[in-house]
Amino acid sequence: MASAILLISLLFSSAVYAWPGTVNKTGSICTVVPSVDGSDDAPGIISAFEQCGQDGSVVFMNETYNVQSVMQTTGLNNVSIHLYGTLLWSTDTGYWVNNGLPLGHLNMTTAWILGGNDITFMGHGYGTFDGQGQFGGYDLAANTSNMPGRPISLTVANTTNSAFSGLRFVQSQFWTTAITHSENLLWEDIYINSTSNSTWGTQNTDGTDTFWCNNITFSRWSVTNGDDAIAPKTNSSNLLIQDSVFYGGNGVAIGSIGQYLDTFEFIENVTAERIICYSCEYVGYVKTWTGVQQGYPPNGGGGGIGYVKNIVFRDFVAINTWVAIAHITQCTSYVGATGGCDTCKFQISNVTWGPGVGNTVTSYLAELQCSAAAPCPDINLVDSFGLIGTNGTERQITCSNIVDPTFSCTGSAGSDQY
């Protein structure tokens, strides 16, 4: 009897703490119990979603979970996810570069694909994704743009009617999140911070990128990174970005787009409002690939067709903007390639920046380069940015192929591809 009790208590305690993959299921609530020996918690996490991903809850305790392998948790329905602890991605860069799950676009990969209907994913302002990107991202890529295989931390795919809130993402290896084939989502109170402590930068640590998405609200984001804060891409519509603070990155990027030869894509109805940008490259910009295909994604391409329209960046505060408040480029091309800026047929129209206040540390307020093959109508700078200061007495707004500008252009826009 005593030995039976001992055996049962041993089994019980070992079921809780000894090996990875443990799930404590009570009714429809699955609590993922982390391993104590540092082994991979991904199988346990996947198991929790399998057991409680329909009409249930998945709970991560206030503990650290080691994620050492890719996860796919899709087809969820009516599930609440509570992240009270930290998901710590391993630094086995060789594994991630070779085993990422395909994003299904741009030859990119991801570490976790999550999807379904009626998902409520809550971090309660505390739950954290830690990509340990210093090793697996910044130092590994060593300033190489879009180094193939660096995975996106979290991809939300084929998801409808869902909300993500109170989540923290630090040290992303690559893009922090991506959202594809999804509709009716709310993302609020999201904290993102990818900061390098070495000589290598944090490029490609985008906050999020959207593809085939409709009706998404991004509210109260804090993004510190070295690239786009939020970047609506291929076939994105009706996106609202509001009440957010961005530090040091590139601001809101519409695109890049037009990367696939003769392929039709669009971005329509994106409003970014009440954004505070500290030392951002731009507040908001639009970038398309040139009309000449050179190479393949992620770092090459071009020759796409389609349109970007109905884009608004309003009520912003931009402090020490380090290139310009407003930017359009149709010069994006294969890394290192130049020229072709007038070949792009991708149509940009109806883009408005302002009202806004702040300053640039350059003499530039706006650099607006549209392609001669598709000049841009209805480009607006509210009050010609009269409330925005520049460094020095020159206030430059450069333009190429802007149709009937309502502001004074001070020269032609250059061909830098950023």
Which of the ranges 190-198, 253-261, 285-293, 405-413 carries the binding residues for ligand NAG, by CB under 6 A?
190-198
Which of the ranges 51-59, 256-264, 281-289, 405-413 carries the binding residues for ligand NAG, by CB under 6 A?
51-59
The residue assigned the tokens 């030859």 is 107
- Judged by CB under 6 A, which of 197, 336, 393, 404 binds ligand NAG? 197
Strands in 291-417 per DSSP E: 305-314, 316-321, 326-332, 347-353, 356-360, 364-369, 379-381, 388-389, 396-400
- Judged by CB under 6 A, which of 224, 250, 332, 347 binds ligand NAG? 224
Three-state DSSP class for 12? Answer: helix
Which of the ranges 25-33, 257-265, 339-347, 404-412 carries the binding residues for ligand NAG, by CB under 6 A?
25-33
Instruction: State which amino acid sits at residue 402.
Output: I
Contact between 117 and ligand NAG per CB under 6 A: no
Contact between 303 and ligand NAG per CB under 6 A: no
- Judged by CB under 6 A, which of 361, 373, 382, 409 binds ligand NAG? 361
Q: Which of 209, 227, 228, 342 is catalytic?
A: 227
Terminal-to-terminal C-alpha distance of the chain: 74
Comparing CA positions, the residue from 158, 78, 80, 155 lying closest to residue 118 is 78
Contact between 16 and ligand NAG per CB under 6 A: yes
Alpha carbon distance 289, 284 (integer Å): 17
Nearer to ligand NAG, 300 or 345 (CB): 300
Pairing of strands 109-110, 154-157: unpaired
Contact (CB, 8 A) for 109 and 103: yes
Encoded one letter per residue, x for contact with ligand NAG by CB under 6 A and - for no contact, window 152-171 reads: -----xx-------------
| DSSP H or E run through 274 | strand 264-278
Contact between 98 and ligand NAG per CB under 6 A: no
Alpha carbon distance 260, 38 (integer Å): 43
Measured from each CB, the residue nearest to ligand NAG is 201
Q: What share of the chain is helix, strand, coil (3-state, %, to 5)?
A: 10, 50, 40
Name the minimum Å distance from CB 361 to ligand NAG: 3
Contact (CB, 8 A) for 289 and 299: no
Q: Is 227 an annotated catalytic residue?
A: yes
Contact (CB, 8 A) for 228 and 202: no
Nearer to ligand NAG, 108 or 331 (CB): 108
Name the minimum Å distance from CB 292 to ligand NAG: 17
Contact between 268 and ligand NAG per CB under 6 A: yes
Cis peptide before 256 (omega within 30 of 0): yes
- Judged by CB under 6 A, which of 215, 219, 384, 415 binds ligand NAG? 215
Contact between 393 and ligand NAG per CB under 6 A: no
Alpha carbon distance 118, 50 (integer Å): 16
Which of the ranges 22-30, 251-259, 324-332, 336-344 carries the binding residues for ligand NAG, by CB under 6 A?
22-30
Bridge partner list, 190: 221
Q: What is the size of the binding site for ligand NAG (CB under 6 A)?
A: 50
Three-state DSSP class for 53? Answer: coil
Contact between 244 and ligand NAG per CB under 6 A: no
CA distances from residue 220 to 86, 125, 167, 276, 285 in whole angstroms, order as listed: 21, 12, 11, 11, 20
Name the minimum Å distance from CB 201 to ligand NAG: 2
Name the minimum Å distance from CB 221 to ligand NAG: 11
Three-state DSSP class for 140? Answer: helix
Contact (CB, 8 A) for 284 and 241: no
Encoded one letter per residue, x for contact with ligand NAG by CB under 6 A and - for no contact, window 130-149 reads: ----x--------x----x-
- Judged by CB under 6 A, which of 130, 200, 319, 384 binds ligand NAG? 200
Alpha carbon distance 368, 352 (integer Å): 12
Active-site residue list = 227
Q: Which residues bind ligand NAG (CB under 6 A)?
A: 16, 24, 26, 28, 31, 55-57, 62, 74, 78, 84, 104, 107, 113, 115, 126, 134, 143, 148, 157-158, 181, 184-186, 193, 195, 197, 199-201, 203, 215, 217, 222, 224, 226, 237-238, 247, 268-269, 296-297, 310, 312, 350, 361, 391
